[in-house]
Amino acid sequence: MPQPRTYHVTQRPDGQWQAKAADGTRASAVARTQAGADRRAAEILRNNGGGELVKHGRDGTIVDKRTIAPGNDPFPPRG
């Protein structure tokens, strides 16, 4: 089973916000607002099997951390 992905939402030097995989070299998404980058990162995670979403404030500190569930689980739990 592959490791869950982790995405970080951080502010860029130009003032825009980016959603970037923890092991990535480039941003997966760029938005004018933190909320926009957060929504896009959650969407990317849902579409790719879920994972962790870490949101950083303007000063770089972690302000929120949450788990995003898979959007389309091919093997949902019985129940």
Domain boundaries, the chain: 5-52
- For 7-32, how does the pLDDT look when each residue is reduced to its tens digit (9 = 90+)? 999 999 999 999 999 999 999 999 99
Give the separation between CA 36 and CA 49, rounded to whole angstroms.
Answer: 20
For tokens 């959650």, what's the residue?
A: 42
Please identify which residue in the block is written with the tokens 């569930």.
69
pLDDT tens for each residue of 26-56: 999 999 999 999 999 999 999 988 999 999 9
Convert the chain into a string of H (helix), E (strand) and C (coil). Answer: CCCCEEEEEEECCCCCEEEEECCCCCCCEEECCHHHHHHHHHHHHHHCCCEEEEEECCCCCEEEEEEECCCCCCCCCCC
Q: Is the pTM of this model over 0.75?
A: yes
What is the CA angle 8-68-23, rounded to 5?
A: 35
